[in-house]
Amino acid sequence: MKTINPLPDLNFLKECFVIDPLATSGLRWVSKRPLNHFKNSANWRTWHTKFADKSCGYLSLQKYFRLILNNIKYPVHRIIFAIHNNTTDFLDKQIDHIDGNTLNNSAGNLRLASASQNQFNRKRQRNNATGHKNISFIKKSNRYRCAIRVDGKDIFVGLFDTIEEAVIKRDSKTKELMGEFSRI
């Protein structure tokens, strides 16, 4: 898993950014950053000419908005969560997009999640042959196997004759294990 850079100080973030639902990424640069953020006044003037009060961030290959601040890349959704919730103390947690849309960085769509909870809220992978998360077809037995991974451990749910049975059991077990974080 990719290492996530710790966010700068919360006050520094607030001096740099404003949450803006109309901005493409959900975040824009402030209209005037303090001079002490820059090496010299020439850099300060250049920054204000190019970036002040504009939408910030770029779309990464992984379909997340990211931005570069002081030569370090940060996910925009982490900055929005930090500013909205007035804390940067969540390094051991991930920020989950509740609706599963990584482009929707509205503050109400972001929540703290463990790595396991965040994985539960993922969409089905494209290479999934059965069309259902956590369900695979076992050719030898001509049955459907359901197993759910939680905190790095597989929880075996069962083998089923039909995909419908497997889906019902999977849905029930997923809700039991992950509650609001389950995406079926």
Q: Return the structure tokens found at 18.
A: 């404003």
Pairing relationship of beta strands 72-75 and 65-69 according to DSSP bridges = antiparallel
Quote the distance between the C-alpha of residue 111 and its chain's center: 9
| CA triple 153-155-161, angle to 5 deg | 145
pLDDT tens profile 111-133: 998 887 777 766 666 767 788 87
Cα of first residue to Cα of last residue in the chain, in angstroms, is 24
> Residue type at 102?
T
Q: What is the pTM of this model?
A: 0.77
Residue 2 banded pLDDT, cuts 50, 70, 90: low
The predicted-structure confidence for 45-70, as pLDDT tens digits, reads as follows: 999 999 999 999 999 998 999 999 99
